[in-house]
Amino acid sequence: MSDAVISDTGESQQPVAVVTGANSGIGRATAIHLASTGSRVFGTVRSVGKADKLRAMAADAGVEVELVELDVADDVSVADGFAQILETAGRVDHLVNNAGVGGNAVAEECPTSLYLDVMNVNLCGAVRCLQAVLPQMRERRSGAIVNITSVTGRIAALAQSPYVTSKWAFEGLSEGLAQELAPFGIRVAIIEPGVTKSAIFAKNIDTPNSTGAYDAHYRRMFQFYAAGMANSTDPFEVARVIHEAITTDTPRLRYPVSWCGPEMAALHDRIADDDWVGLGAIDDDDEYYRRFAEIFDVDIAPA
Q: Which residues carry out catalysis?
A: 163
Instruction: Determine phi and psi for 44, rounding to 5 degrees.
Output: -90, 135
- Rounded Cα gap, residues 217 and 21, in angstroms: 29
- Report which of 262, 235, 188 is spatially closest to residue 27, judged by C-alpha positions: 235
Alpha helices for the chain (secondary structure H)? 25-36, 52-60, 75-89, 112-119, 125-140, 161-181, 200-203, 215-230, 235-247, 261-268, 273-280, 285-296
Q: How many helices (H) and strands (E) does the chain have?
A: 12, 9
Q: How far is CA 299 from CA 211, 247, 248, 260, in A?
A: 29, 34, 33, 9
144 bridge partner residues: 94, 187
Classify residue 46 as exposed, middle or buried by CB count within 10 Å of its CB (0-12, 13-18, 19+): middle
Secondary structure letter of residue 123 according to DSSP: I
Number of Cβ within a 10 Å radius of residue 4: 15
3-class SS shares of the chain: helix, strand, coil, % to 5 = 50, 15, 30
16 bridge partner residues: 40
- Rounded Cα gap, residues 287 and 15, in angstroms: 51
Q: How far is CA 273 from CA 64, 269, 270, 279, in A?
A: 49, 10, 9, 10
Secondary structure letter of residue 303 according to DSSP: -
